A and B are shown apart, each in its own frame.
Chain A
Amino acid sequence: MSFYMRTANGRVAQRSRASMRLATGIILAGYPLGALLTLNSSLAGDGSGAFALNLTGLAIIAIAIFAFFYIAPSYMQRIVGEQLCELDDLERDLRQKAYAFAYHLLTGLVASAIFYLAVANDDTRLTLWAPDSYTHWNTIFWGVLLYCFTLPTAYLAWTMPDIAHEFGEDELEAEPVRKPGVRWWLWGLIIAGGIGGFILARTIT
């Protein structure tokens, strides 16, 4: 699951491989780090220490989200998020590889997390931490979503050869401008999901 954000002029935003590696690294490492700091800020007490820790965590999360919006209109994100009919041979091939990698990694992470939760909830002698509040689960949900969106792109950022420097400005400028289309079904799905989640949350509480 991923998406691609078309720029206002319809061109694919040019991003170097190094910047893509950095941005995906910030997202994948920054979000969990920020979340850990924010969720555990209470361990620093009730004073300014906890506040500073909370603020630092939120700042790191914000940087991770900004990094995602940096990669969202890139060529690599286009490969993983654009409609399939818009992609050529190579891009479809790369998308398959990126999704396969992301699937393997995500299933591994989910299996490990479930195993950990099972142990944490079952064995009271170990006193392991387990999510127990809405804030915890909310943080995990957005983290998983961010990982779903970023992992395929991160794979491409670390495996695709960098050939951008081989193209002259004239070639990059000559890229066809395509008027961005509105994917109503996607927006419908997002809004329906939001409404559904809201109703579910209201019903449960």
Chain B
Amino acid sequence: MSSPIYNRLPVLRAERGLSRKALADSVGVNFQTIGYLERGDYSPSLELALKLSEYFELPVEMIFSLKPFEPLSRIANQRDQ
């Protein structure tokens, strides 16, 4: 059984004020697919992961990970300290 792939899509989308529909149109998928991705019900193909990476202008590993992401608030707090 494949391990779950965690992602930061909801955070990245919220940062940019994007709707699922707008993001879906940008990467050429159905808006429900973005919903499934965000919920972790579906692991994206390499092609889709690269398209999302290109769209957000971030490395793939900053969007998807095999381990749960640390909350951004904690990262910011650690950086401040």
Contacts and interface: CB of A to CB of B under 8 A. Distances in A.
B29 A90 contact: yes
A93 B31 contact: no
B17 to A, nearest CB: 14
Contacts of A75: 32
Interface in B56-75: none
Say what secondary structure dominates the interface of chain B.
helix
A89 B31 contact: no
Contacts, number: 42
A171 B21 contact: yes
Contact of A90 (B20, B21, B30): B30
B53 interface: no
Interface range on chain B: under 10, 10 to 19, 20 to 34, or 35 or more? Answer: 10 to 19
B33 A171 contact: no
Given A93-B42, A161-B39, 7 more contacts: A75-B32, A88-B30, A88-B48, A166-B35, A171-B19, A171-B20, A171-B31
Interface range on chain A: under 10, 10 to 19, 20 to 34, or 35 or more? Answer: 10 to 19
A174 B33 contact: no
A102 to B, nearest CB: 20
A89 B45 contact: yes
A167 B29 contact: no
A175 interface: yes
Contact of B36 (A163, A171, A175): A163
